[in-house]
Structure 1
Amino acid sequence: MTTLTLARSDRYTVAKVIGFAVALAAASQVAIPIPGTPVPITLQPMLVVLAGFWLAPRAAVASMALYLAAGALGAPV
């Protein structure tokens, strides 16, 4: 029988991908009202940019895809 194992760096990357997806979901719930306009801002754009800077390109895309998949499945994002 063959077992599949992830290297330590791969586990760290998976944890970062999941962490950014969860952080993005949490940031979508925080709305900061702007005086004089009915449209509030959220922290989502900042987290998307941080994911692009901190994660590898494939990992950043994976975290955004995970966030979108969670929303498509009905999670409150």
Structure 2
Amino acid sequence: MPPVSQSQQSIEKNAPLSRWETIGSYDTADACTNELAKLTTLVAGNITYSLIQRRTLAGKCVAADDPRLHADNYDAY
């Protein structure tokens, strides 16, 4: 999930992936996508979203070996 801003009022969707929180690990991209779809469906029905719900909706599936997960590789992308 993307990190929370310093003020704790918003999420930082454009933060480098090295700052994102890993919620789960899956054997395949399809398994991750399916789980993310389930979570999104659970929170998408609400009219007003809490901060955690907004973070969930902004979640992404990323390969464990994606070089963007390492802060020292961020500038290369």
TM bucket by the smaller chain?
A: 0.3 to 0.5
More helix by percentage: 1
TM-score (ref. length: structure 1): 0.34
Q: Please, what TM-score do these two structures have when normalized by structure 2?
A: 0.34
User: Which of the pair has more CA radius of gyration?
Assistant: 1
| Higher-strand-fraction structure | 1
